[in-house]
Amino acid sequence: MKLPNHWQSFIKIFQKKFNSEIVSDSIRVFQDEEAIKERFTTHQFETYLPYYIPVADDSGGQVAVISRNDEDKKVYLSSYGTLEEKYFKILDRDLLHWMQRKFPFDNEDKQENELTAEQQASFESENKHLLEQIGQFPSLLNFWNQTYSIENLCLPENFPVVDQLLAFQDGYAFNTVASKSLIGEKEGDFKESWLVIASNYFADPFFIDFNDSEENFPVYFAFHGTGKWKPIKVADSIDIFQNILRSIFELRYDKNGLLSLLTELSISGNEFWDEVYQNVLEMPEMAEDEQNEMISESDWQEAEVYITDIGPNKMKIVSLLKAKYRLSGAEALQMSKEARILYHKGPKKWIHSSVQELENLGAQVAIVIL
C-alpha cells in the first residue's frame, strides 16, 4: 500500500510531538502502514472506499480518512458503519492543520468558517498578487528551489509549495479557523511586510521582511506560542542563510563537524543559534563508517525534480517532455505552460543528471525530498 507523501510528512512531525498514539483523550492516530492496513482490511475499505485510507478514529465508530491521491490533502470524516463518499464531511484542509487544531472529530468549526465563493476568489487573488511580488526577487525563488530539511535541530523542515505561498502564512499572518487577520502594528504583532519562508517541526517560523529587499532579505526567526512575535536575526541575507543550511546539511551526522562549524560562524549569544548549538551537543556521536552509512541511506530517499521556469530554450524543453511522457507535440507544448512540471522522480542520488540536463538548457528547477 502506497501512502500519500503528505501523510508521510505529517506522521514524522506527529511522532516528534506526541509520545502516544492516543491524543486528545480518545483520538487514536495510526502511525504506520501496518496499523492503516489493519483498519483498511478489517473494515473493507477495498470494497467501499478503495481510493481512501483511514488515518485516525475516535474509538466510537467515527473515522478520519484521506485520499490516496496526493493532490487531495483534505481530511474527511466518515464512520466505519457507512463508508460512503457521499456522506463525507470535511474535517480540515490538511493533516498538519488538523493536528494544530488538536484533532477535532466534528466539522462545526469548518462549517462556520468555510470560505464562500467570494472569499475563495479573494484568497486566490491575494495569492496571485503575492506570487507576482516574490517573482521580482530571484533570491527568494532560489531559496525554495533548493531546500535543506534538517531534523531535530530547530532548523527548517517545512517549506511552502510556492504556488500556494499564501496558505503557508496561515497561523502567522492570518487564522483561517477564526477567520481573522493576525497582522498589526504594535510591538509583538506579526507585521504586514513579513513573509514566512519556512518553519521547523514546532511550527516556529523563519521569515523575511519585504522592506529589507535592498539588503537581500536578512532572515529572522521567532518562537511560536509565546503570545507575541520577537524577531531574532539568524542570517544577514537569504543567500547566506541558504549557504549555512547547506553546510549544516552536509555535516548533519557529524557532531564534531557541526560544533566546529557553528563556532566558526561566530554566532554565540544569538538565542536561536545557541538553541541549535545545544541541540547538536545532545546528538549521539557516530563513527565515520556510521556517518557514511547514514548518508548512503539518505541518498536512497525519494526525490522529485520540478521545472519551475522552462527558460529560453522552450522547444528543447518541449522535446524532452514529449520524449519522457510519450506525448504528442501539442500535448507536450501544453504541459510546458504549467507553472510547475514534474520532470523526474526517483532516489536522490540519481536526480543530478536530470537537474544538470535542465539547467544546461537554462531552465530553473526545484528539488523536493520526499
pLDDT in tens, 268-288: 688 899 989 988 988 877 666
Q: What kind and span of H or E run contains 45?
A: helix 45-48
Q: Check: CB of residue 53 under 8 Å from CB of residue 72.
A: no
At 6 the pLDDT is 87
Within a 10 A sphere around the Cβ of 268, how many other Cβ atoms?
A: 10
27-29 and 232-235 strand pairing: unpaired
CA dihedral 112, 199, 274, 145 (to 10 degrees): -170
At 236 the pLDDT is 94
Q: Band the pLDDT of 298: cuts 50, 70, 90.
A: low
Residues 232-264 have pLDDT tens digits of 999 999 999 999 999 999 888 888 989 999 888
Confidence check: pLDDT of 9 > 60: yes
C-alpha cell at 297: 541511506
C-alpha cell at 147: 531546500
User: Strands, E, within 213-370: which ranges?
Assistant: 219-221, 232-235, 302-309, 341-347, 364-369
Confidence check: pLDDT of 296 > 60: no
Q: Check: CB of residue 292 under 8 Å from CB of residue 343.
A: no
Q: What is the sign of the dihedral through the CA atoms of 185, 161, 127 and 364?
A: positive
Nearest to 77 by CA among 97, 100, 103: 103
Average pLDDT over residues 288-305: 63
At 247 the pLDDT is 92
Q: Would you give the DSSP letter of residue 116?
A: P
Q: Band the pLDDT of 177: cuts 50, 70, 90.
A: low
Confidence check: pLDDT of 109 > 50: no
Average pLDDT over residues 25-30: 87
pTM higher than 0.85, yes or no? no
Confidence check: pLDDT of 1 > 90: no
C-alpha cell at 116: 464562500
Backbone angles phi and psi of 95, in degrees to 5: -65, -40
Confidence check: pLDDT of 138 > 60: yes
Residues 219 and 234: their CA atoms lie apart, in Å, by: 6
- Residue with the bigger pLDDT between 339 and 268: it is 339
